[in-house]
A and B are shown apart, each in its own frame.
Chain A
Amino acid sequence: DSGVTQTPKHLITATGQRVTLRCSPRSGDLSVYWYQQSLDQGLQFLIQYYNGEERAKGNILERFSAQQFPDLHSELNLSSLELGDSALYFCASSVVGGSSETQYFGPGTRLLVL
């Protein structure tokens, strides 16, 4: 158990809908990362937050957004969902987000868009 929690574990929704994925980092970790894992694209970095502020952006679609709240939990919002958004979404956390820090991954949320 990495100490990172993600809810829900599974999510089934329809095209055009909006969903929110939630992540609670390990106790004491200030930095949160979101990754998308799909069969064709592999594990792709989406976005990083540090202590409530966006720190880095990767291959995140404009339909997707994220935020980190004062209690350090983070939410990833996916809107206008398309079939191709079906994937595993992982949250990871680290202490401050430095380049040699271990990132601890949560168990993921499996999103299926029908």
Chain B
Amino acid sequence: QQQVKQSPQSLIVQKGGISIINCAYENTAFDYFPWYQQFPGKGPALLIAIRPDVSEKKEGRFTISFNKSAKQFSLHIMDSQPGDSATYFCAARIGGLGKLIFGQGTELSVKP
């Protein structure tokens, strides 16, 4: 019940296209949903985050869509660029606790 399921495992997108990564969860105690970006040899870095009282959050080319009733959230990367090629992790946190529960990750490759 504390899992976060992420799909797809890998994604290839053409430059300028839209990358979409999906996550689903079961535990309704989760109240904070960040997305992390990880480049090879580096630690994960926060990209964007959302709380469940908001259905959408946009920061530049990155948008989180959140569907509380379906217990699903997704990351959309508009106008994808080769520099966006990285592994993306969705995560969730239970209110009052610090630990993050991560999805399995999506390896994104943006082809020029």
- Given the interface pairs A43-B105, A100-B51, the reply to whether A58 lies near B45 with Cβ below 8 Å is no
Interface check A48, CB cutoff 8 A: yes
Q: How far is the CB of B32 from chain A (nearest CB, A)?
A: 5
Contact between B99 and A56 (Cβ–Cβ < 8 Å)? yes
Nearest chain-B residue to A108 (Cβ)? B43
What chain A residues lie within 8 Å of B42 (beta carbons)?
Answer: 107-108
Contact between A31 and B102 (Cβ–Cβ < 8 Å)? no
Q: Please report which residues of chain A, range 20-44, place their CB below 8 angstroms from some CB of chain B when the two chains form the complex.
A: 31, 33, 35, 42-44
Q: How far is the CB of A3 from chain B (nearest CB, A)?
A: 11
Interface size class of A (residues with CB under 8 A): 20 to 34
Contact between A33 and B51 (Cβ–Cβ < 8 Å)? no
What chain A residues lie within 8 Å of B97 (beta carbons)?
Answer: 56, 99
**Which applies to chain A's interface (DSSP): helix, strand, loop or mixed?**
strand
Q: Which of A43, A48, A92 has the most chain B CB atoms inside 10 A of its CB?
A: A43
Contact between A99 and B32 (Cβ–Cβ < 8 Å)? yes
What chain B residues lie within 8 Å of A100 (beta carbons)?
Answer: 32, 49, 51, 93
What chain A residues lie within 8 Å of B105 (beta carbons)?
Answer: 42-43
B interface with A by C-beta (< 8 Å): 31-32, 34, 36, 41-46, 49, 51, 89, 93-105
Query: Can you list 14 A-B contacts (CB < 8 A)?
Result: A4-B43, A33-B100, A42-B104, A43-B44, A48-B99, A50-B98, A55-B98, A92-B43, A94-B98, A99-B32, A99-B93, A99-B98, A103-B46, A107-B41
